[in-house]
Structure 1
């Protein structure tokens, strides 16, 4: 009889421990050092040559990061993972591992403002073009893919638009064309496993829900093991694929892009994130439960123009969200008021929700997207990502739901 597969909440606590580095410790040790010494020139030469596993320099690998990467691999049922200095570093590294000047990306248009800027402006200066399409329009993705397309990029839930792309349909389109699909699962870790929908690479800003406590910046890249890197679009991986097989993407990423760009995560940050990920599944259930209660309360409130949450049946993508997500719909919800002035007054009247440019904290966070992380976008671009002047975004925390609702209710009474 085969061993029963552990549930993710149990696996993150018991199923990923690196026995060779534990020395009896029950918490991941912090290897806070730059380099690793060897007893002989032959020994370190063997590690550099790839004949022997080992650590040489923390920019390329570190035992504390290895433990976190094993947890991240388990979280997404992946082939392997690489931790990075931030979520943006994870996206940049992934793009540079797959594309070069003259190549193209197809992306949903309702992505996070920072990611939009990276794809639209920064990478464009390096000759990598991104075509943005409506995130929920499957046919638009099909039409946008060309012979130069190296990846399709989508987020599990648009931020702050909160639209929900149909991953099953979009991954099918990408694979028909021989293109790798990259999924940013920052908003729905443990609620959705993109691999089940066919995603090839999963991105996280571990700063958010995976860490969960707002105390460490980090990112992650996980290869799900689905994609065949022998495809004609990825000939630059041929040589390394002959040595590493299906690990070609991860090997190229770690041994060239990650190494050369210096996108490594600090050991102390990895230590803090390793602690946070242990309670991830439990926290996501509470985040989602609270967000649903808040959204339901606001749904009939005449003082607001609109509340948007994928768990509400009134949400235009609710059926897709219901098909894809497990154990909840996440922590993000938005509401619209009369105008920008009303939004500012509402935010300023909140007593417990923190006005901060982050999501995924245990505390409830609130922000006005149009004047903050979407301020550099044009009016048309803001419309595409859903950041109108009268929009407020909440990242609902794990406080008691009644106290969150009370804070919002009192603040609405002041506008």
Structure 2
């Protein structure tokens, strides 16, 4: 497949990221998701390799001073510096954009860098943001602490209460931010409704799609403007690398790329290459994660020491019907409350033998954590109460082990608190 480089310049006359596009890229629109995840883009080194080469280089050389000038000016195809462009990174950006249905992508050093970069690139002092309370704890810190220092105010609202979103709108509101399903309760937001609300008031809707991945949900097709990911999670799928990405319209992503270059929040070529390989199995893995998590959720509902199970795949979950409409699966994360408090929750966590006690998720290995003292420990007690992060809440990210083995391992912990 041959490629052409699309010339894009900025005020400093340097070419932007995402410069490589397949000449017959329109054909990818006809491919199914799994095919796009494997075949979108293909950057060859000239050695005839079947698997894409890994481009571990910090800089690039030119045949002449005149060629260097032309590349730096954006008048001729070529890479400038791996903080700016790198073939392995470009391929990752291309594939994620194709899978999410976006025009362009900007890969970053982590998921938090993708969130911060999106805000830094598209917001300014005096702007107002509306953010769901049900987001990752560090995301709250970004909005409530660091953006506040720059004169960007954030109002926090309940994820599923449309009235609160509407009442929080101001003339200076420029962004609505949410994650759906939420972490860790799996609450579901109506992306189409919130996109319409944002656009009616000239604001952008940004969706953290980490839990679903594009294999299960494509927020851009539902009206969102930008999608962000911690690629560290399901995109990688094996807990190996840190990375993030934002996908959306070229206009917004170009601004993010400019910020990324200045701030240096770039992804390493090696990590991007690992994520490219992870995408090749994403569809299969997400199907397996969903299948196992539904079964585990139903099993947990039958355990006498369980107070409540939170998983949108269960029919009694308040977001079940909405999830059916806007997702192609319910995801691989569930949470549940045991009868008792922190002591009982910790007993369950401490008794498991092979389920990993870690706050990460999206791995082939199942993980278990206590959100109130790990992922959401920096929230105030009031915010924990408002978002349902109770002391008896446990979160499990279901891996790819045999589901019966996962049940048996978890039963060891549950048995420790049986009356």
TM-score clears 0.5: yes
**1 CA distance for matches of 2:207 and 2:45?**
31
Tell me if structure 2 keeps the 8 A contact 1:210–1:276: yes
Tell me if structure 1 keeps the 8 A contact 2:93–2:106: yes
1:23 deviates by 3.7
State which of 69, 89, 95 in structure 2 corresponds to 1:71: 95
**2 CA distance for matches of 1:160 and 1:100?**
30
1:116 maps to which residue? 140
RMSD of aligned C-alpha atoms? 1.5
2:200 maps to which residue? 176
Write out per-residue CA displacement over residues 33-80 of structure 1, whole angstroms, 9 at most, x where no aligned residue: 111111222222222222223211111111110111111111101101
**1 CA distance for matches of 2:275 and 2:102?**
18
1:214 maps to which residue? 239
1:411 maps to which residue? 413
Give the direction of change, closer, same or farther, for the CA distance of 1:22–1:406 in structure 2 (3 Å limit): farther
2:225 maps to which residue? 200
Tell me if structure 1 keeps the 8 A contact 2:185–2:334: no
**2 CA distance for matches of 1:302 and 1:414?**
12
Give the direction of change, closer, same or farther, for the CA distance of 1:21–1:151 in structure 2 (3 Å limit): farther
**2 CA distance for matches of 1:156 and 1:53?**
39
State which of 259, 262, 265 in structure 2 corresponds to 1:263: 265
Write out per-residue CA displacement over residues 300-350 of structure 1, whole angstroms, 9 at most, x where no aligned residue: 221111111000011111111111111x20011001111100111110100
State which of 20, 38, 42 in structure 2 corresponds to 1:13: 38
**1 CA distance for matches of 2:46 and 2:160?**
45
Describe the SS at the equivalent of 2:177.
strand
Describe the SS at the equivalent of 1:214.
coil
Give the direction of change, closer, same or farther, for the CA distance of 1:135–1:22 in structure 2 (3 Å limit): farther
Tell me if structure 1 keeps the 8 A contact 2:134–2:159: yes
1:386 deviates by 2.5
**1 CA distance for matches of 2:141 and 2:294?**
31
**1 CA distance for matches of 2:287 and 2:386?**
29
Give the direction of change, closer, same or farther, for the CA distance of 1:30–1:146 in structure 2 (3 Å limit): same
State which of 128, 131, 143 in structure 2 corresponds to 1:107: 131
**1 CA distance for matches of 2:155 and 2:92?**
34
Give the direction of change, closer, same or farther, for the CA distance of 1:32–1:380 in structure 2 (3 Å limit): same
2:114 maps to which residue? 90
**2 CA distance for matches of 1:132 and 1:115?**
12
2:363 maps to which residue? 361
Deviates more, 1:111-120 or 1:201-210: 111-120
State which of 346, 362, 376 in structure 1 corresponds to 2:378: 376
2:252 maps to which residue? 249
**2 CA distance for matches of 1:149 and 1:47?**
39
Write out per-residue CA displacement over residues 252-287 of structure 1, whole angstroms, 9 at most, x where no aligned residue: 221x20111101001111111111111011100000
- Whether 1:397 aligns to 2:402 is no
2:18 maps to which residue? none
| TM-score (normalizing by structure 1) | 0.91
Tell me if structure 2 keeps the 8 A contact 1:160–1:386: no
**1 CA distance for matches of 2:346 and 2:50?**
46
2:289 maps to which residue? 287
Tell me if structure 1 keeps the 8 A contact 2:92–2:276: yes
Tell me if structure 2 keeps the 8 A contact 1:160–1:385: no
| TM-score (normalizing by structure 2) | 0.90
Tell me if structure 1 keeps the 8 A contact 2:122–2:255: no
2:12 maps to which residue? none
Tell me if structure 1 keeps the 8 A contact 2:109–2:266: yes
1:210 deviates by 0.4
Describe the SS at the equivalent of 2:130.
strand
Deviates more, 1:22-31 or 1:382-391: 22-31
- Equivalences, count: 389
Describe the SS at the equivalent of 2:131.
strand
Write out per-residue CA displacement over residues 157-189 of structure 1, whole angstroms, 9 at most, x where no aligned residue: 111132111111111111111211111101101
1:22 deviates by 6.0
Deviates more, 1:51-60 or 1:349-358: 51-60
Tell me if structure 2 keeps the 8 A contact 1:16–1:74: no
**2 CA distance for matches of 1:341 and 1:206?**
33
**2 CA distance for matches of 1:103 and 1:22?**
48
**2 CA distance for matches of 1:301 and 1:380?**
30
1:95 deviates by 0.3
Deviates more, 1:136-145 or 1:84-93: 136-145
